[in-house]
C-alpha cells in the first residue's frame, strides 16, 4: 500500500516539476514497499540509491530555473535541498556500512520532508516561474 499518494494540492503548476514530484513519491513508495516486503540489503541499498539519485536530479532541475531567472529566494531554497541531500547521503553511507537499518522512522522523515518542502517551498516559486513563461 502506498504511504503517499500525489494529490492536486501538491501542484506547483510547472509540468516538468510536477512530473518529477510524482516520480519522487513513487520512489518513496517503492522504498517503503521494499522495506515492508523484507527485501535483502542489496535491493534496499539499490532502492535508496535510486531515490537519492533522482532527488538530486530533481533538485538540479529546480535550481537551474532559479539560476536562469535569478529567483530571489534561491539561496534559502538551495540550502533546504542541500540539507536533505546531506541527510540522505549520511543515511545511505551508514546503511552501506551496516551501521543503521531502514526503519519506519527514516521513511517517515523522508516522506514528511518531501511533502513539507513541496507544499511550503516549491509552491512558493510557482507564480515566479509561471510569470516567466515556465508552466
What is the spatial distance between Cα 37 and Cα 33, in angstroms, rounded to a whole number?
A: 6
**Cα 107 off chain centre by:** 12
User: 110 near 88, Cβ under 8 Å?
Assistant: yes
Helix and strand numbers, DSSP H then E, in the chain = 5, 0
Cell of 127: 507564480
Residues 95-134 that bind Fe ion (CB under 5 A): 122
Closer by beta carbon to Fe ion, 62 or else 110:
62
Nearest distance from C-beta of residue 58 to Fe ion, angstroms: 6
Of the pair 13, 39, the CB lying nearest Fe ion is at: 13
Size of interface with Fe ion, in residues (CB under 5 A)? 2
- Beta carbon nearer to Fe ion, 29 or 95: 29
Q: Which residues bind Fe ion (CB under 5 A)?
A: 62, 122
Amino acid at each position: 500500500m502506498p504511504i503517499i499518494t500525489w494529490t492536486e494540492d501538491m501542484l506547483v503548476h510547472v509540468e516538468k516539476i510536477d512530473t518529477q514530484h510524482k516520480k519522487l513519491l513513487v520512489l518513496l513508495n517503492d522504498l517503503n514497499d521494499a522495506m515492508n516486503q523484507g527485501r535483502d540489503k542489496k535491493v534496499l541499498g539499490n532502492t535508496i540509491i535510486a531515490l537519492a539519485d533522482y532527488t538530486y536530479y530533481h533538485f538540479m532541475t529546480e535550481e537551474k530555473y532559479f539560476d536562469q531567472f535569478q529567483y530571489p529566494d534561491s539561496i534559502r531554497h538551495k540550502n533546504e535541498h542541500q540539507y536533505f541531500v546531506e541527510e540522505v547521503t549520511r543515511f545511505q553511507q551508514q546503511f552501506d556500512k551496516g551501521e543503521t537499518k531502514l526503519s519506519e522512522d527514516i521513511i517517515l522523515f523522508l516522506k514528511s520532508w518531501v511533502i513539507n518542502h513541496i507544499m511550503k517551498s516549491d509552491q512558493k516559486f510557482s507564480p515566479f516561474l509561471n510569470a516567466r513563461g515556465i508552466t
